[in-house]
Structure 1
Amino acid sequence: MADLAGWRERADAALQRALPDPSSPPQRLHAAMRHAVLLGGKRMRPMLVYAAGALFDVRADVLDAPAVAVELIHAYSLVHDDLPAMDDDALRRGQPTVHVAFDEATAILAGDALQSLAFEVLANTGASDSIRVELLRTLAIASGAAGMCGGQALDLAATGNGTSLSVSQLETLHSLKTGALIRASVRMGALCGGASPDDLARLDRYADALGLAFQVRDDLLDIEGDSATLGKTAGKDVAQDKATFPALIGRDASRARLDELRAAMADALAPFGARADGLAELGRMAIERDR
């Protein structure tokens, strides 16, 4: 059985160690960074690192650095995503967003600092030099214009005219905004275990399906969930006329798409057998979650 709870606890402890001491200056910046990272979260991306590494019997301590790094990048992206210039949200993980709890300037700096800390942590991983370089390359590409930032730019461009995109364009958007970092999480865990090109290709297919499933479920939750359960403001996508799967294809078709993506994940993981139980469980969680 996959130890999802153990992986989550390990990620939380490693994040605590990686973040700056809140009593050291600049205290306000350090407090904002900790607020962004430590007040909840699913820890999906770190758990994907551990689960992918477990396929190849990688020691957990070797996986700590990439697990922490990818979560720091994710946290930074949420801090900036919530800013008034972007999604302008006041609630994240059931708590005030960083710019509300502190101020906009501190939130911007906190996001910047979390991003740079991610690469500092990853540069200090215990992996070999060649793997370390590949890990850095993987996370950098997934975080930048060819990945998460590019997807966010496409999302902002479509906001206010959500039905202007085709379904294929929306899938491309989310393959960058959400999928790229999920794909990097899986790939970094596998790289630490010396995965073969064939193994990496299979895991990329799994991660691509998972990333899209995560977003389809997110879109459904925005219209079906409530703020208290979600830990963030429900109904924002509709209010801002954002491009979403329910808006383009409807709720029933969105649920059918989730079933297709569930099958795609299972097919990609089938050659790994029981060793992929952790990845399979994380895929199920992404589809069936209520927040």
Structure 2
Amino acid sequence: MNVLIIDRFPKPFLDALAQLPVQITYVPEAKRPEILPLLAETNILVMNSKIRLDPEAADLAPHLKMVIRAGVGMDHISVDYLEGKGVKVRNTQGGNADAVGEQAVGMMLALNNNLMIANQQVKSFEWIREANRGREIGRQTVGIIGYGHTGKSVARKLSGFGTRVLAHDKFLTDFSDKFAKEAQLEELFAEADILTMHVPLTDDTREWIDAEFLSQFRKPIVFLNLARGPVVKLSGLLHALDQGQVTAAAIDVLENEKLHTLTERQKSEYENLFSRENVILTPHIGGWTFESLSNINNMILAHIQDEIAAS
């Protein structure tokens, strides 16, 4: 069984993989032109998000049996095309859910208590208390869009604060539990104080959150996106921030995360976003903990062991 790994993985994972009856090709520095020829003899491909696994690439892998995505999002993988060729496509869903949940709650706390602004003020020898009076998330209503592994993780963690949670998921029904109440969008528009996004990137969700969407909230909201950058139309979010419809935002993901390749439009919007005191930005690290790395690596090994057993 030939396993091709095209992204960087830690030594303990590689050592554990080497104990299995597989031949390993590990090329973490390779780019698409170097990777494509290697697909010819590959049975299992382990990848993160370095390349698009599109039909062109899939057709170069006649012996491919399984693709394993180290993470959740599959928008860069032609899943239907691969499965139509008999290739199993797996991800590590749930492996980083606790990490994302913790970061989401941390961002809510930071925004509701002006922690980033207050920190900078004190470092500038400014001692400003009243303007930094916070709001307790236990007294607020949080709307979660997307109630999969990460959405549920956020709701579980908020339960410790006594927060009321409304969850909307267009693909699920009858999913209310002790952590969240199932809700239609209209209920979120009417009652949410905080909105956090946990949906995959699909044709339906691309630029779903725009100025019109955000204008439908009856109260000013705090907005978080720990899903995928293109889920949010950035010009719409900037407009909502200008209008006060969004009072503060925490953004872990961007439309284009390769900051050296920005278009003029992206550069202008990013400069606008980055200049705002009431916006927290992180470099797509919502699921990026040492614990989630271990979880994801163990799930990858389990997928590979399943394929070995099935062969």
Q: Report the TM-score when normalising by structure 1.
A: 0.30
Larger Rg: 2
Higher relative contact order (CA 8 A, sep 6+): 1
Structure holding more helix per residue:
1
Name the structure where strand makes up a greater proportion of residues. 2
